Structure 1
Amino acid sequence: MVITQSFVTEEELLHMPDDGYRYELIEGELRQMVPTGFDHGRYTGKLHGLLMIHVLAHKLGDVLAAETGFVIARTPDGRATVRAADIAFVARGRVPADADTTKYLELAPDLVAETLSPSDTAVEVEEKIPSWLKAGVRLALTLNPASRSVTLYRSLTDITRLTDKDELDLSDAVPGFRCRVSEIFD
């Protein structure tokens, strides 16, 4: 008996009908993402707003919301990995002038942020952060509402955990951006 596995292309993912869920594409396989709760939206929204104000004021690039997908890897046979972070930042000048921005861009954002939810498993988070960093993201962070903390990943070995008493400095990816961690969680 021959078992065939069908894979989804990024173009097919882009044009899937809305069934109430969000999806990512990992090496051509669909992964369903569960809708998030109120706290997830609240804290993600606060950081997104703080970043947006700073980025617009200084004309630094684009701050993107949760449904924005990026092709961050391909298998040797061309199957795509399309990821969507809760927040992404792409510096001005990085999007090619001829890019079709109605589709997923094939580039790694400069910054991604993921807000942990009760539905997130440790395995999911442990898989996402390395895949972003491997793709070339300069700075990845996770917001943890339960502990009111932020974990910064500059690499898999350069990891910093901040509490709500600390300052969050994202200047490595977003020039000049700083805020108190408490501004996100208060």
Structure 2
Amino acid sequence: MTALTLKLDSVVRLTDEQFYQLCQDNPELKLERAATGELIVMSPTGGETGKQNFDLVIALGVWNRQTGLGVGFDSSTGFRLPNGSDRSPDVAWIPQAKWDALTSAQRKRFLPLCPDFLVELLSPSDSWEAGEAKMQEYQDNGDRLGWLIDPESRKVAIYRLGQAVEILESPDALSGEDVLPGFVLNLQTIW
């Protein structure tokens, strides 16, 4: 997904409410906001990336429905991270207790937390370096397990809270480890 970054600070610094309203007024746009206030506009994905992302959502959704351990989200869900940025990972998950702790009003807006698990799936136009920076931001904000997946090169970076990043070349599957017990993603649906 090609992203366009707009630096608005010299003109306006959007409040949380203004950014939320901007997103509501422009539902056809996929917008994120960096902690520095920059507005990130992302283009729609191509068919191949959309299919891969759909397969990721299904796999996590089936596991989550079977276990009932939490709540899963697709790429249209906004998360307000503790550092002030607003992000929308391709796939995200939180434990049921975190969902239950949110008020009804919080559930209807961008969720004021960082997911415990998330996936960023690179499109052919995305850079590995930009993906790494985004994943590091998630980890710095409390993400417990994250996968950066590059289908082109068949490379995966695994981010675990408090640990060094692990890079895998052409793995067959990924484990949800202790964050998503029993979840295994067969990467043959992605490659």
Q: How many residues align?
A: 177
CA distance in 2, matches of 1:97, 1:116: 30
Percent of residue pairs identical: 28
Contact 1:34 1:119 in 2 (8 A): no
Residue identity in the other structure for 1:36 = T
After superposition, the C-alpha distances for 1:7-37 in whole angstroms (9 at most, x for unaligned) are: 1123222222226321111123211112111
CA change 1:56–1:135 in 2 (3 A) is same
Q: What is the TM-score of this pair, normalised by structure 2?
A: 0.83
Could you report, residue by residue, the CA deviation over 1:150-174 in whole angstroms, capped at 9, with x for unpaired residues?
321215623131524x331012321
Give the Å deviation of 1:122.
Answer: 3.6
Paired AA for residue 25 in structure 1: R
- Selected match of 1:159 from 161, 166, 181: 166
Q: How far 1:101 moved relative to its partner?
A: 0.6
Q: C-alpha separation between the residues in 2 aligned to 1:33 and 1:183?
A: 24
TM-score (norm 1): 0.85
Match of 2:29 in 1: 21
The whole-number CA distance in structure 2 between the counterparts of 1:8 and 1:176 is 41
Which whole-Å CA distance do the structure 2 matches of 1:117 and 1:97 have between them?
A: 32
Task: State the match for 1:173 in structure 2.
Answer: 179
Compute the displacement of 1:142 (Å).
1.5
Q: 1: distance between equivalents of 2:179 and 2:119?
A: 12
Native 8 Å contact 2:132 2:148 kept in 1: no
Distance of 2:87 and 2:136 partners within structure 1: 12
Determine the C-alpha separation between the residues in 1 that align with 2:34 and 2:53: 23
Distance in 2, Cα, partners of 1:123 & 1:148: 15
Q: For the residues of structure 2 that align with 1:32 and 1:6, how far apart are their CA atoms? A: 17
Aligned AA (1:45): F
Alpha carbon RMSD of aligned pairs, Å? 2.0
Matched, 1:94 2:98: yes
Is residue 51 from structure 1 mapped to residue 60 from structure 2 by the alignment?
yes
Residue 63 of structure 1 corresponds to which residue in structure 2? 72
Change (3 A) 1:65 1:26: same
Q: Which runs of 5+ in 2 are unaligned?
A: 1-8
Cα distance in 2, alignment partners of residues 89 and 19 from structure 1 = 23
Find the residue that maps to 2:85 and give its secondary structure.
Answer: strand
The answer for unaligned runs of 5 or more in structure 1 is 75-79
Secondary structure, aligned partner of 1:42: helix
Cα distance in structure 2, aligned partners of 1:84 and 1:9 = 18
Q: 1:131 aligns with which of 113, 118, 137?
A: 137
